[in-house]
Structure 1
Amino acid sequence: MGRRSIHTPDELRELIIEATTEIVEQVGLEGLSAREIAKRVGYSPGTLYNVFENLDDLLLIIEARLLDELAGRLASTDAAGPPADRLRRLVSTYFSFTQERPKLWNLLNEHRMPAGREVPEWYQQKVESLLAPLENALTPLLNNSDPAAQKRHARTLWASVHGMTSLSTADKLAGITAHSGRSLVDDLVSTYLAGLERRCPAH
């Protein structure tokens, strides 16, 4: 990289984000350090803390961009056809996205904020945006259930799918089952939909 004088603050910020993302994609969170990031961008480690307060803030930005990308992918998923089919497509899109860059996806599970520091509200809002497509797909299947029930169902299904995708990207499914992560997610959705049909039969 060039000397620091040729980079504006915004350019330097992007260089740091890109370098950090590359490190996580290549070696995971355990291989990340301020020294390694600085080495890749050609600056001293102290320069990082002139741009970001700490590594946690930097990682939150990377996670937020990943969530935004996933939200865009879900929003562009084909919404035609019966609600059950739409739901299956959404879950399939979600699973496929997580498999594209597994180490980067694992960052969402492995990164923990320091004790006493909460995840910012803006980050929570991004997580909520991922649930909206699921809620919209589930609503017709719940036959006028109250909004609280719709949110509960969306979160239950999302948490279940997220857990399976995380086991898959962390290569921990082999110790549990010989079945692929995708087949498990497909079984989960089919079972969930069958349960909804019994609890909320169409009129």
Structure 2
Amino acid sequence: MARRNDHTKEELRELALNAAEALVAKEGLSGLSARKVAASIGYSAGSLYQLFASIDELCWELNSRTLSVLLQQLVESEQPCAAQEQLNAYALCYYEFAIRHTSSWSLLFEHKSSTCDALPVKLTAQIEDLFAQIERPLMHLNKSKTPKEVALAAKTLWSGVHGITTLAVNRKLFLSIDGAEIAMLDCLISSFLEGWCKEKPAC
């Protein structure tokens, strides 16, 4: 069995996070425990608690890594195109991310802290950064809206995108049409923007 001084603290945290990701992918959130994570990297559960105050903290760290990857992929999906096309690209990116990284993506919504409801400041900032990506094209499409209205619209629209994605991931769309998920995402966005842009005929 490895000893704690075989790795730096940073190395050990990375080992633990990688092991936790593997456990979540294999067994889901219910299969995640300090004992299992520690055993998989050859350390004791006590050693793990020298790195993370609780399983909640470990999950927050996992979710932070997931959000970082998701944001990077959203940024990479940006194209020199019309705002509506960019929103379609973001939606497709989000859907494909959920399909490719289902366990990590699911943990974002399944994990609830056992001690408090408030998100860590780092996670809150990452979520705000993600929504800022959605707010920019919405603001471009209707410059008469206030920042609060744009923020509300971004969350409203993305709630719909998330709903379609969730149903698709869980195979609950009950549609046999190839590419139905993408068609639904495009339909949602175009319908939403029809109302969003109604004050601007040029849209």
With the length of structure 1 as denominator, give the TM-score of the two structures: 0.89
Question: Matches of 1:84 and 1:158 in 2, distance apart?
Answer: 14
User: Structure 1 stretch 119-128 or stretch 52-61: which is displaced more?
Assistant: 119-128
Partner SS for 1:118 = coil
Q: What is the aligned partner in structure 1 of residue 142 from structure 2?
A: 142
**2:114 is aligned with 1:114:** yes
Q: Using the aligned pairs only, state the percent identity.
A: 32
Take 1:131 and 1:23, find their aligned partners in 2: how far apart are those partners? 29
Q: What is the alpha-carbon distance in structure 1 between the residues aligned to residue 28 and residue 9 of structure 2?
A: 26
Question: Quick one: structure 1 residues 92 and 117, their matched pair in 2 at CA, closer, same or farther if it must change by over 3 Å?
Answer: closer
CA displacement, residues 14-65 of structure 1 (integer Å, 9 cap, x when unaligned):
1101100111122211211112111110011111111100000001011001
- Quickly say closer, same or farther: Cα 1:159–1:44, change in 2 above 3 A: same
Equivalent residues in 2 for 1:72-151, closer than 5 Å: 72-151=72-151
Corresponding position of 1:196:
196
CA distance in 1, matches of 2:143, 2:50: 53
Partners of 1:32 and 1:67 in 2: CA distance: 20
How far is 1:193 from its partner?
2.1
Task: Tell me the equivalent position of 2:53.
Answer: 53
* C-alpha contact (below 8 Å) 1:143/1:202 kept by paired residues: no
Gaps of 5+ in 1: none
Gaps in structure 2 of 5+ consecutive residues: none
**Structure 1 residue 144: deviation in Å?**
2.2
> Is residue 15–residue 41 contact of structure 2 (8 Å, CA) maintained in 1?
yes
Deviation at 1:199, TM superposition (A): 4.8
The letter for the 2-side match of 1:149 is E
Could you tell me how far apart the structure 2 residues matched to 1:181 and 1:69 are? 22
**Cα offset, 1:196, TM superposition:** 2.3
SS in 1 for 2:49: helix
Q: Within 5 Å, which residues of 2 pair with 1:158-197?
A: 158-169=158-169, 171=170, 173-174=172-173, 177-178=174-175, 180-197=180-197
CA deviation profile, 1:108-150 (whole Å, cap 9, x unmatched):
1110012444212221111000011111111121142222211
Q: Distance in 1 between matches of 2:103 and 2:196?
A: 34
Q: Residue type matched to 1:173 in 2?
A: K
Query: Residue type matched to 2:172 in 1?
Result: L
Distance 1:10 1:46, change over 3 A: same
* Corresponding residue of 2:22: 22
SS at match of 1:68: helix
1:28 and 1:104 in contact (8 A); partners too: no
Label 1:153 to 1:117 Cα distance change in 2 as closer, same or farther (>3 A): closer
- Partner letter of residue 26 of structure 1? K
Distance (Å, rounded) in 2 between the aligned partners of 1:18 and 1:41:
9
TM-superposed CA distance for 1:12, in Å, is 0.9
Give the alignment's Cα RMSD to 1 decimal: 1.9
The count of residues paired between Structure 1 and Structure 2 equals 200
> TM-score, with normalisation over the residues of structure 2?
0.89
Tell me if structure 2 keeps the 8 A contact 1:83–1:138: yes
1:28–1:182 CA distance, 2 compared to 1 (3 A): farther
